[in-house]
Amino acid sequence: MSGPSAASTEVESARKACGRLHQAYSSSRLYPSDHPTARNTLGEFVDALESHLDVYGFMMLRVEEDRLVFEDEEVYSHEEVRSSVAFLMFRDGIRFVTFYPGIEAGEIESFVDCLAHADELAAVEHDLSTALWERDLQHVEYEVVDPFLGGGGERLRDQALNELRETVIRRLSELSPGSGGAGPQGGQPEQADPESMTLTPADIRRGEQAVADPSDALEDFTVVLLEIAGISGGSPKGEEALARALALVTERILDSGDVDALDLVVSRLRSLEAQGRRLPEFARDVVGEGMTSARLTRLIASIGQVPPVEAARVERVLREMRDWVLPTLLELLAESADKAVRKTALDLLDAEGGVPARHLWPLMADPRWYVVRNAVQLATGSGAPELAGHLERLLRHPDARVRREVIRSLDAVGGARSAALLARGLSDEDPSVRTLAAHGLRRHGNRAHIAAVQVHIDSREFETRPAEEIAAFLQAYATLGGEATVEVLGKLWKRRVFGTRPLPVRLAAIQALGEVASPSAREALVDAARSGEVPLQRVAARALADIQARMRGAGG
């Protein structure tokens, strides 16, 4: 009986919070942030959300085009779609949003502010997910449809391929010395003499004229050069001239914004590289040399200026040329004033095999916090032996956002040295850094690190810390110490004669006992389940159920 009723109450609580969210969003659009109406509606949303999180834990909402869904129940919709917070998030690719306990009023206000100004972001080539990412909200998590997944762009049809083949054969015949204008019947490109493919000064002039003349000649000449690039064995001078001519036409293509032609060049170069007919250095010479930061910025910015199908095509081309333009991407990451461009550059750099670490060390000394944070994020998967030394130095960085990324990196890397540095992070001045460090040490530490955790638990001010931090420390303590921690955890949740500990401490201690799962820990949880205090009973029951599930799984 209590199960369905409790579920219904939880859904109603989420529905109330979403209703308050809409009111806060609407008021923030109409009034200045310091207006009484805006402040009141924001305060009501803060109260409703915090109340839900205090009772039920995190709140995950599925974002659909015209509604928000919680536990498969609709908890929000709005008749006017354009004024719907669900539509705003859905439009910019957000499919799930989750709020976690411990969220601060400032984070909630930032979230509402981003929604209220979502329509203004398009004017500055920004989107909602990027705006939220820049706010670095620690207790708000959102899942975005990745713009760099999936295909995109149209494929050439058979007829177009046939026409292209005829053009290539005709142009190759024209370019071959002594061919006498044999035309399409003069032989297939694969059978041409490599020496006859060497570009003459006249060919180079023709290429430069094609570059200067924005006509169909540019496309035809590009096709010819790409076909010649597929035939190896030319003289060194011919190879150099070929790379120079292709670089010239590629620069012209970039300046003209012709995505069709750029797609052709990149796809063909990728194909030649995959077939082993050209080394990666050739494509870097052709595309990378001419890819200035201004050209790459224009290409990235075009994503928000074209229809979705065309935008997907640009994104695919960017992915395919990524390895050839790494230096320019790194330059944008550090120097671009456009946050959306920086985020796209970061996404590209973080894809595939990452970035060679040697390019990232200088960025970690940059005075701008976001450059350092992004460099740490990119370096995490590099496996470079020097990484730990850089992370150790950055644990003293003045900006907490950098230190948080350092802790995440140490957690991802793992190992004995990372565990030692995570233990140092427990004493950081910022609560969010300490919380992340405790979670990381729980995964990578050992019994030697128990003392580093316990010194905080024993401190007088521990009970005044945020609930999320208290829970992280006690879970790390239980995981690292095992059976030896049961007595201390048992004392933490029980009532005292003089002054009972705060509820977050008692609840976290019960949750931590569930990590131990020994007979004495289960006995302590049974006592908590019989305590007569409903919040403690609920948490203890869940912990016991989790232990039983793990035991069944281990036995199966």
Q: pLDDT tens for residues 269-285?
A: 988 888 888 888 888 88
Residue 437, Ramachandran bin (φ over 0: left; ψ between -120 and 50: alpha; else beta):
alpha
3-state secondary structure 440-472: HHHHHCCHHHHHHHHHHHCCCCHHHCCHHHHHH
Residue 136, Ramachandran bin (φ over 0: left; ψ between -120 and 50: alpha; else beta):
left
Are 377 and 409 in contact by the 8 Å Cβ rule? The answer is yes
Give the residue among 468, 338, 419 at the shortest CA–CA distance from 53: 468
Q: How far apart (Å, rounded) are the C-alpha atoms in residues 450 and 261?
A: 61
Give the residue among 395, 386, 398, 397 at the shortest CA–CA distance from 360: 386
Return the pLDDT at 7. 64
Q: How far apart (Å, rounded) are the C-alpha atoms in residues 448 and 445?
A: 8
Are 22 and 36 in contact by the 8 Å Cβ rule? The answer is no
Q: How far apart (Å, rounded) are the C-alpha atoms in residues 7 and 452?
A: 40
Largest distance between two CA atoms of the chain: 107
Tens of pLDDT, residue by residue, the chain (556 residues) = 445 565 688 899 999 999 999 999 998 988 888 888 889 999 999 999 999 999 888 899 999 988 999 988 999 998 887 789 999 898 888 999 999 999 999 999 999 999 988 877 655 556 788 888 888 898 998 888 744 333 333 333 344 334 444 444 444 444 444 434 333 333 343 444 444 445 555 555 555 554 454 445 667 778 888 888 887 655 666 677 888 888 888 888 888 888 888 999 999 998 888 888 888 888 888 888 889 999 999 999 998 888 888 989 999 999 999 888 888 998 898 888 888 888 888 888 888 778 888 889 999 999 999 999 999 999 998 888 899 999 999 999 999 999 999 999 999 999 999 999 999 999 999 999 999 999 999 999 999 999 999 999 999 999 999 999 999 999 999 999 999 999 999 999 998 766 678 999 999 999 999 999 899 999 999 999 998 889 999 999 999 998 888 888 766 4
Are 514 and 543 in contact by the 8 Å Cβ rule? The answer is yes
Are 10 and 71 in contact by the 8 Å Cβ rule? The answer is yes
Type and span of the H or E element at 113:
helix 105-116
Q: How far apart (Å, rounded) are the C-alpha atoms in residues 8 and 29?
A: 32
For residue 522, the one-letter residue type is R
Residue 323, Ramachandran bin (φ over 0: left; ψ between -120 and 50: alpha; else beta):
alpha
| DSSP track, 231-288 | S----HHHHHHHHHHHHHHHHHHHHHT-HHHHHHHHHHHHHHHHTTSS-HHHHIIIII
| 3-state secondary structure at position 427 | coil
* Assessment of whether the complete model's pTM goes beyond 0.85: no
Give the residue among 466, 461, 508 at the shortest CA–CA distance from 488: 508
Return the pLDDT at 336. 87
Are 284 and 324 in contact by the 8 Å Cβ rule? The answer is yes
**Which two tokens mark 42?**
């924001």
Are 159 and 134 in contact by the 8 Å Cβ rule? The answer is no
Q: How far apart (Å, rounded) are the C-alpha atoms in residues 489 and 123?
A: 54
Give the residue among 139, 135, 143 at the shortest CA–CA distance from 118: 135
Are 269 and 287 in contact by the 8 Å Cβ rule? The answer is yes
| DSSP track, 297-312 | HHHHHGGGGS-HHHHH
Return the pLDDT at 175. 42
Return the pLDDT at 235. 61
Q: How far apart (Å, rounded) are the C-alpha atoms in residues 303 and 544?
A: 51
Q: How far is CA 478 from CA 216, 457, 484, 509, 553, in A?
A: 71, 12, 8, 9, 21
| DSSP track, 320-360 | HHGGGSHHHHHHHHHH-S-HHHHHHHHHHHTSTT---GGGT
Are 371 and 389 in contact by the 8 Å Cβ rule? The answer is no
Residues 6+ apart with CB under 8 A from 223: 164, 167, 168, 171, 264
Are 160 and 130 in contact by the 8 Å Cβ rule? The answer is no
Return the pLDDT at 196. 46
Give the residue among 250, 260, 245, 252 at the shortest CA–CA distance from 197: 245
End-to-end alpha carbon distance in the chain: 31
| 3-state secondary structure at position 61 | strand
Give the residue among 45, 303, 21 at the shortest CA–CA distance from 152: 303
Q: How far apart (Å, rounded) are the C-alpha atoms in residues 548 and 313?
A: 50
Please report the domains of the chain, with CATH numbers, ordered by start residue: 2-144 (no CATH), 158-354 (no CATH), 356-445 (1.25.10.10), 449-556 (1.25.10)
Look up residue 198 and give its DSSP letter.
S
